[in-house]
Amino acid sequence: MSLSLTLKELLAPWFDVPQAIANTDVRQLELDSRQIAQGVTFVAIKGHAIDGRQFIASAVSKGANAVIAQACDSKPHGLVEYQNEIAIVYIAELGNILSELAGRLYAQHNNQLIGVTGTNGKTTITQLIAQWLGLVEHRAAVMGTTGNGFLEQLQPAANTTGNAVDVQRTIAQLGEQGAQYTALEVSSHGLVQGRVKALPFVAGVFTNLSRDHLDYHGTMEEYAEAKFTLFTQHECQHAIINVDDAVGAQWIKRLENAIAVSLEPQESGNAVWATSVGYSEQGIDIAFDGMFGAGHFHVPLIGEFNASNVMLALTTLLALGIDKQQLLESAAQLVPVLGRMELFAAQGQAKVVVDYAHTPDALEKALMALRVHCQGKLWAIFGCGGDRDKGKRPMMAEIGERLADKVILSDDNPRSEKAEEIVKDMLAGMCHPSDAVVEHDRFKALQYALNNASAHDIILLAGKGHEDYQVLANETIHYSDRESAQQLLGLTS
């Protein structure tokens, strides 16, 4: 990118940069000293795990042209120091202003942003929005769990929501590549840590809220309030809220002019709702009504929660002024999202559905969605992550036992915990734990299910979705549920 500001222009809202360094050319910002090259400007902040100020000397040695560092008691706001003739400018509350600071350099584009937050459905909704915009001839990109970029060429992302500098830079790069819209998954971590603080959203979408990330937030109330800030502490022109979710039903009362979305009729005029929803093996048929008028469309997706996801995506696009008739006519061309209720089928064998469900709510919804399609027995293969919220382990096992006919407990990402201990925690939630099959190897778990299932059965392989890795105690190995399903069903060439 050919973006450039002087150091004086970049820091103008917070500090009057001395004339001696005022004209230093800032073209690229980096938080990671390992990414520093000649002429790059290093931003040194005290992070949640690492204090970037420890790496100032390293950044200077690698060619940083200036350093913007977080001020502290011994290095007060406005102090300018030098290392090897390179200026180090100390700024107060740098972490809190980082999104705005990065935006001053990178936010020189016409890329309109749509933020999607909630526990489940973020990836599906962002990708449906991007797909749908593409079908009606708008160039759209996504940023989130499965990667950043245009759907046909996603680049891997380390986190659902990147750091404040990377987010601003990626949005600018996508804009430069022709993105008219970018749909972002906005995580609770990203909101709390200010990673999207200065982004102007043309629309914000709330999907649902269920147990997740309590190892970080502590309580469901804190988790909910973190999500709520997308609509109250960020620029957000249109708020689209799923009121079928209990939290969403409360939020709609607190948000003036927000649009309620539901699969049930609504009395509010500021709403879009389904008047009928039909499910078949070919997909979902939805008739709707509300503030944008009535309509009907078909999408080749599975399950009630996908009906909700599609309604949220549709309402968002209608709120942004996208032509309704074009959207309805193109809906049948939408395709399932990678690793999200993705169906793998071979003649004479059980169907395998790969889904990212790794929370109690998501697992419950996935199993309920598949039950209406299942003519035989419904199998569930899943595990729980290590070094994460232990409270959801028995909950997920209870859901599997209650809603599936056959349960196989396997490994997710054990991380530093013993896989046997994770499974033990899960078994504690079952009334008849001896009925569950325990097979730690996910490939062998699916192999067992396919060997023992009939052609009319459906096997849900839950928890990994699009992921092609597994995190163990001392290493990360290549593993993919999608590849396992393709290989065992003989779908690979």
Query: Which tens digits make up the pLDDT trace of 151-185?
Result: 999 998 877 667 899 999 999 999 999 999 999 99
CA distance linking residue 387 with residue 461, whole number of Å = 21
Buried b (16+ CB within 10 A) or exposed e, 17-51: beeebeebebebbbbebeebeeebbbbbbeeeeee
State yes or no: 309 annotated in a binding site.
Answer: no
CB 52 within 8 A of CB 59: no
For residue 218, give Cα distances in angstroms to 1, 230, 330, 417: 41, 19, 43, 20
Residues 303 and 165 in one domain: yes
Same domain, 9 and 85: yes
460-466-472-476 Cα dihedral, nearest 10 degrees: 150
Domain range enclosing 280? 107-333
Would the annotation count 451 as a binding residue? no
Q: What is the mean pLDDT of residues 271-288?
A: 92
If one counts the domains in the chain, the total is 3
Cβ–Cβ < 8 Å for 28, 110: no
Residue 115 has pLDDT above 90, yes or no: yes
Average of per-residue pLDDT across 327-338: 95
Q: Is 118 annotated as a binding residue?
A: yes
Q: What is the mean pLDDT of residues 365-381?
A: 92
> Is 257 one of the annotated binding-site residues?
no
Share the mean pLDDT of the chain.
93
Distance, CA of 43 to CA of 52 (rounded, Å): 8
175 and 115 in one domain? yes
31 is in an annotated binding site: yes
pLDDT at 330: 98
pLDDT reported for residue 2: 66
- 487 annotated to a ligand binding site: no
Is 493 within a domain?
Answer: no
Nearest to 149 by CA among 179, 129, 114: 179
Query: What mean pLDDT is predicted for residues 316-320?
Result: 98
122 is in an annotated binding site: yes
Which residue bears the tokens 């002087």?
A: 6
Query: What CATH number is associated with residue 482?
Result: 3.90.190.20
**What pLDDT is stored for residue 217 in this prediction?**
44
Q: Are strands 351-355 and 342-344 parallel, antiparallel or unpaired?
A: antiparallel
Residue 102 placed within a domain: no
- Give pLDDT, residue 192: 81
Are 410 and 311 members of one domain? no
Is 161 annotated to bind ligand? yes
pTM above 0.95, yes or no: no
- Across 58-199, where does the E strand assignment appear? 66-70, 80-83, 86-91, 112-117, 140-144, 147-149, 181-185
Q: Is 124 annotated as a binding residue?
A: yes
Residue 54 CB neighbour total at 10 angstroms: 11
Q: Render pLDDT for 432-478 as a digit per residue (tens, 0 to 9).
A: 999 999 999 999 999 999 999 999 999 999 999 999 999 999 999 99
Model pLDDT for residues 55-95, shown as the tens digit of each residue: 999 999 999 999 999 999 999 999 999 999 999 999 999 99
Q: Does 216 have pLDDT greater than 60?
A: no
Q: Are residues 145 and 166 in the same domain?
A: yes
- Domain final residue, candidates 33, 68, 97: 97
